[in-house]
């Protein structure tokens, strides 16, 4: 009988994370997703469970190692995949980034990957191997305006990905990261509503046009790449960063 694989997804109740949670559940994985937002997580878990999918939601603060340890203590002894998706953003250059802003992004975007990967590694080893997939960004490899703190965190994500891939290759644990360009999520809509009231459509079109392909990405497209990297078909891939950006990096004039 074919073994049912288990995936753990952080930030799995909204945006890209929700698309990842839904896809793995639909594909038959035992899907465990973590999120700070208890209400959203409960709603997602209830909805997917009603469809017959095997899902478990655990409210977790990825920046708090005790919270993460408690979450992983509720999971099976072995897991196949960890998707480090949880992350937050900040708009501002060096002068516009307060110490509180800097620390807040570091705690979630950098420390969150450390805590969850650290807690997961024994379960991946016990499984005989598996895959860690980190959500990076095009901000890790190019200078984006007014994204100082965010870029700092994503540069760290890329470096941690390479380090984990190197250190655990002999344990049959692969580690890769994905670098999206602009993706249409509720965060984008909220950002536009807050900063450009009455100009949302105009600004949305302007942001979409920055990608040579002429539109923003869809959360489902990012989820598709995550699913592929977690699969046996990607067993020869580790220590790699995959840009999904509509040509943003490769086709700019």
- Quick check: 252 pLDDT over 80? no
Band the pLDDT of 223: cuts 50, 70, 90: very high
State residue 2's pLDDT score: 73
Residue 80, pLDDT above cutoff 90: yes
Strand, coil or helix: 221: helix
* 198, pLDDT greater than 70: yes
Domains of the chain: 6-181+220-244 (3.40.50.720), 183-216 (no CATH)
Cα separation of 36 and 58, whole Å?
9
pLDDT at 173 over 90: yes
Q: Is the pLDDT of residue 149 over 70?
A: yes
Q: Residues 101-147: pLDDT tens digits?
A: 999 999 999 999 999 999 999 999 999 999 999 999 999 999 999 99
Note if 150 is an active site residue.
Answer: yes
Report, as an integer, the average pLDDT of 83-107.
97
Distance CA 68, CA 103 (A): 19
pLDDT of residue 244: 96
The tens digit of pLDDT for each residue in 27-54 reads: 999 999 999 999 999 999 999 999 999 9
HEC secondary structure over the chain: CCCCCEEEEECCCCHHHHHHHHHHHHCCCEEEEEECCHHHHHHHHHHHHHCCCCEEEEECCCCCHHHHHHHHHCCCCCCCEEEECCCCCCCECCCCCCHHHHHHHHHHHHHHHHHHHHHHHHHHHHCCCEEEEEECCHHHCCCCCCEHHHHHHHHHHHHHHHHHHHHCHHHCEEEEEEEECCECCHHHHHHHHHHCCCCHHHHHHHHHCCCCCCCCECHHHHHHHHHHHHCHHHCCCCCCEEEECCCCCCCCC
Predicted local confidence at residue 253, as pLDDT:
56
Name the active-site residue from 150, 168, 196, 227: 150
**Cross-strand partners of 131:** 81, 174
pLDDT at 247 > cutoff 80: yes
Query: Cα 152 vs. chain centroid, distance in angstroms?
Result: 16
Token pair 């839904």 is at which residue?
22
User: What pLDDT sits at residue 178?
Assistant: 98
């Amino acid at each position: 009988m074919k073994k049912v694989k288990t995936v753990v997804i952080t930030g799995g109740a909204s945006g890209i994370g929700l698309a990842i949670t839904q896809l793995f559940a639909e594909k038959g994985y035992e899907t465990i997703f973590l999120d700070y937002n208890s209400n959203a997580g409960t709603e997602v878990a209830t909805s997917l469970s009603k469809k017959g999918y095997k899902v478990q939601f655990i409210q977790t603060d990825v920046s708090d190692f005790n919270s993460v340890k408690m979450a992983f203590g509720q999971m099976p002894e072995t897991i196949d995949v960890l998707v480090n998706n949880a992350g937050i953003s900040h708009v501002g250059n060096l002068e516009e980034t307060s110490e509180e802003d800097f620390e807040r992004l570091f705690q979630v975007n950098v420390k969150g990957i450390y805590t969850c990967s650290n807690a997961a590694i024994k379960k991946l080893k016990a499984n005989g191997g598996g895959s860690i997939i980190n959500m990076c960004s095009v901000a890790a490899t190019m200078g984006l305006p007014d994204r100082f703190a965010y870029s700092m965190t994503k540069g760290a994500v890329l470096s941690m990905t390479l380090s984990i891939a190197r250190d655990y290759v002999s344990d049959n644990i692969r580690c890769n990261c994905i670098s999206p360009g602009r993706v249409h999520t509720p965060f984008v809509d909220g950002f536009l509503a807050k900063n450009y009231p009455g100009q949302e459509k105009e600004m949305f079109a302007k942001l979409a046009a920055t990608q040579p392909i002429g539109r923003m990405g869809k959360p489902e497209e990012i989820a598709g790449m995550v699913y592929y990297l977690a699969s046996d078909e990607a067993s020869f891939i580790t220590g790699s960063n995959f840009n999904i950006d509509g040509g943003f990096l490769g086709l700019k004039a």
